[in-house]
């Protein structure tokens, strides 16, 4: 049973790419597929990667304004701070966030930080624990123990106690015979490490060097974003289905379609950002007969592209007196579009397309970072799962 996920712009295989995909897959299975697919735990998820055939910068961003700072080592933890609440306590970021924005937001931050793992089983465990953590946070959005916490490690201890039903702050209950481990619970240790990474990601001062690095990171991100869009459109129009980007997507979709046909099972396609544009082109032009049971676009610009009439099948005469909106791709049974009001790169679809359901979600992140913050957040996956269940049942 196949699900194909098509990523968006600015995605490159860095050291954490595989870990992010693993956690995303695990969260998909546990929060979304579990709602509609009986065999959700073993559901096949394909992740065609096209970042390597996207925009190439031949002078390695020499066109960006230069500075004289450089990072001596990995600096990939900066994105952990995107939604953190400013605090003077470097080890209390999660606590401050939980107090001001709620436990669910702190859980999202924690799981994003803890996502680095090279182990499928561990990712599945992390997703399972996320489900339990969210369930606890939904019923205890502002638990009383929040007021007593000294730092983020305390928050994890209290969350663990809350989930397990015991409460070390008020005394432990009677235990049933069970397997004892003569050491630590690895899953919690990973979360503690994640909290530690959040603390160490904070710059010691707001120096000019740090600000320059943050600006450059943003600049590189925007350049890659624009580059990927331009490369896609150029190659699509020049090379048609010989375009490497389209080729990668078609390969995965055709393979998934073959699996679906042989097993008589549904095909689910999920797209992030420009992945939605590519898939719209594929489902209307390159594979118009490919039957898709559920099409999910998240943070996508499909409606914007149609307004600009940039799709292969765009009809410049619509809207007109008879046709107010463009119909969703004929081969798609259900289309769900998710956008974040904080994400300036995501767009509503119902004003342009018919046959699509819009779903608003707030990541709570800033205007630029919201765009890349959907899929490794347990709370997003949980709400997406609920919406998919609704749409699926119709």
Partner 1 sequence: MILFDSEVDGPLTQRHANRGNGPKTHALIIGVGYYHHLPGGDGETTKDHMDLEQLSSPPMSARAFAKWVCEELDNPSAPLGSVELLTSPSSNFLLPNGGERCTKRATMPEIERAFDGWYERCDSHSENVAVFYFCGHGVMRGGTILLPEDYGMLRRNPFKSSIDINLTWEGMAQCKASTQCYFIDSCRQVSWNLRKQLRDPGTALILPKIGTRSNRDAPLFMATGPSNSAYGLSSDVTIFTKALLDSLKRGVCRRKGCWLVTTTRLSDALSLAVQELGGNADRPQFSGTEGILKGNAIHRLTEAPEVAVWLCCEPELATQYAELEMFSSDPPNNLHFARRPPVSDRWKIPAPAGHYTARARFPSAEYKPGECSVWADPPGPVEEIVRVEHE
Binding site for partner 1 (CB under 8 A): 153, 157, 160-161, 168, 172, 175, 177-186, 188-190, 192-193, 196
Least distance from partner 1 to the Cβ atom of residue 175, Å: 7
Euclidean distance between CA atoms 385 and 253, whole angstroms: 22
Least distance from partner 1 to the Cβ atom of residue 17, Å: 22
Least distance from partner 1 to the Cβ atom of residue 113, Å: 12
Return the axis-axis angle of helices 378-393 and 103-113, rounded to nearest 10°.
100
Least distance from partner 1 to the Cβ atom of residue 96, Å: 18
Contact 329, 356 (CB under 8 A): no
Cβ distance to partner 1 smaller for residue 172 or 344: 172
Cβ distance to partner 1 smaller for residue 114 or 278: 114
Least distance from partner 1 to the Cβ atom of residue 81, Å: 19
Least distance from partner 1 to the Cβ atom of residue 31, Å: 24
Cβ distance to partner 1 smaller for residue 143 or 329: 143
Cβ distance to partner 1 smaller for residue 165 or 177: 177
What burial class does residue 13 get, using C-beta atoms within 10 Å of its C-beta: 0-12 exposed, 13-18 middle, 19+ buried? exposed
Which run of H or E residues covers position 360?
A: strand 357-360
Cβ distance to partner 1 smaller for residue 161 or 366: 161
Euclidean distance between CA atoms 225 and 228, whole angstroms: 5
Cβ distance to partner 1 smaller for residue 68 or 180: 180
Q: Which residues of 251-278 are buried (b: 16+ CB within 10 A; e: fewer)?
A: ebbeebbeebeeeebbbbbbbbbbbbbb
Cβ distance to partner 1 smaller for residue 90 or 318: 90
- Is the four-CA dihedral 271, 277, 280, 281 of positive or negative sign? negative
Contact 329, 283 (CB under 8 A): yes
Half-sphere exposure of 280 (CA within 13 A, CB side): 33
Least distance from partner 1 to the Cβ atom of residue 212, Å: 28
DSSP 3-47: EEEE--TT----TTHHHHHHHHHHHIIIIIIHHH-TTGGG-EEE-
| Opening angle at CA 113, ends 225 and 205, nearest 5 | 80
Least distance from partner 1 to the Cβ atom of residue 18, Å: 20
Task: Show the tokens assigned to 128.
Answer: 């399972």
Cβ distance to partner 1 smaller for residue 153 or 342: 153
């Amino acid at each position: 049973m196949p699900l194909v996920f098509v990523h968006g712009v600015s995605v490159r295989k860095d050291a954490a790419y595989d870990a992010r995909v693993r956690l995303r897959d695990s969260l998909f299975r546990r929060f979304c597929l579990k709602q509609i697919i009986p065999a959700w735990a073993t559901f096949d998820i394909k992740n065609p990667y096209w970042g390597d055939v996207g925009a190439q910068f031949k002078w390695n961003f020499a066109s960006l304004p230069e500075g004289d700072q450089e990072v001596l080592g990995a600096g990939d933890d900066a994105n952990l701070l995107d939604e953190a609440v400013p605090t003077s306590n470097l080890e209390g970021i999660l606590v401050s966030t939980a107090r001001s924005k709620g436990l669910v937001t702190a859980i999202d931050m924690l799981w994003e930080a803890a996502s680095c793992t090279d182990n499928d089983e561990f990712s599945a465990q992390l997703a399972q624990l996320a489900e339990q953590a969210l369930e606890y946070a939904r019923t205890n959005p502002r638990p009383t123990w929040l007021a007593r916490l000294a730092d983020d490690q305390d928050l994890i201890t209290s969350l663990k106690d809350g989930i397990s039903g015991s409460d070390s702050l008020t005394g432990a209950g009677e235990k049933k015979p069970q397997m004892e481990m003569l050491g630590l619970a690895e899953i919690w240790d990973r979360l503690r490490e994640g909290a530690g990474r959040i603390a160490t990601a904070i710059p010691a001062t707001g120096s000019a060097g740090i600000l320059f690095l943050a600006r450059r990171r943003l600049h590189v991100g925007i350049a890659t974003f624009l580059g990927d869009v331009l490369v896609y459109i150029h190659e699509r129009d020049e090379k048609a289905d010989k375009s490497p980007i389209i080729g990668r997507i078609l390969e995965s979709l055709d393979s998934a379609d073959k699996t679906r046909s042989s097993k008589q099972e549904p095909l689910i396609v999920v797209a992030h950002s420009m992945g939605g544009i590519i898939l719209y082109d594929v489902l209307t032009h390159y594979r118009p007969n490919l039957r898709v049971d559920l099409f999910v676009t998240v943070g996508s610009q499909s409606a914007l592209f149609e307004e600009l009439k940039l799709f292969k099948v765009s009809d410049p005469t619509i809207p007109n007196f008879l046709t107010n909106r463009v119909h969703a791709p004929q081969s798609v049974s259900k289309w769900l579009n998710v956008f974040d009001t904080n994400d300036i790169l995501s767009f509503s679809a119902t004003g342009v397309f018919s046959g699509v359901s819009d779903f608003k979600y707030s990541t709570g992140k800033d205007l630029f970072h919201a765009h890349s913050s959907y899929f490794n957040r347990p709370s997003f996956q949980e709400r997406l799962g609920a919406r998919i269940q609704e749409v699926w049942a119709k």
